Structure 1
Amino acid sequence: MSNPIADPGHGHSPAAWTAVIIMLVGIAIGTFFFFLDMPIVVWIAAAIVVIGALVGWGMSKAGYGANGSKYIAKEH
């Protein structure tokens, strides 16, 4: 058989978890205030989602991504 394929990480990194948590909070806020018909807060929540993506990207570039220098992979 051939060599096993190396685990690509699947996003298990501080950068990915931080980005996902921030974006989930933004989506939850946006959904709740969409239901209450408060469009300005929905747009603020949309901005929070974008900020979450930028934070994840920035953390990845700072070395906290799946292949980053500051990330220590844990065994499963």
Structure 2
Amino acid sequence: MTNPIADPGHGHSPAAWTAVVIMLVGFAAGTVFFCFPDGSGAVGVWISGAVIVLGAITGWILAKAGWGVKGPKYTPKAH
């Protein structure tokens, strides 16, 4: 019997990894743009925010397409 508390079963799917990588790129770029002097990176910060939102939407779409933890296209790896 599997203990649901020990293994919640989330975050180990292609949908989750894709979403996290896209959002990490958005956060990293936003941080770099934020450090530009005189507010010249403001547009870059807003675009980076849009990339973060795009990453979340991409993860949701991939999960709905079957690449999430409970999706038919996902096969868990043995530990």
TM-score where L is the length of structure 2: 0.87
Shift of 1:10: 2.6
Tell me by how many angstroms 1:43 deviates: 0.1
1:15 is the counterpart of 2:12: no
Instruction: Note the residue ranges of structure 1 that are not aligned, 5 or more in a row.
Output: none
Equivalent in the alignment of 1:5: 3
The equivalent residue for 2:25 is 25
d(CA) in 1 for partners of 2:78, 2:48: 35
Question: Is the counterpart of residue 62 in structure 1 residue 65 in structure 2?
Answer: yes
- Pairing 1:40–2:43 present: yes
The amino acid of 2:3's aligned partner reads: I
The percent of aligned pairs where both chains have the same amino acid is: 57
Q: How many residues align?
A: 74
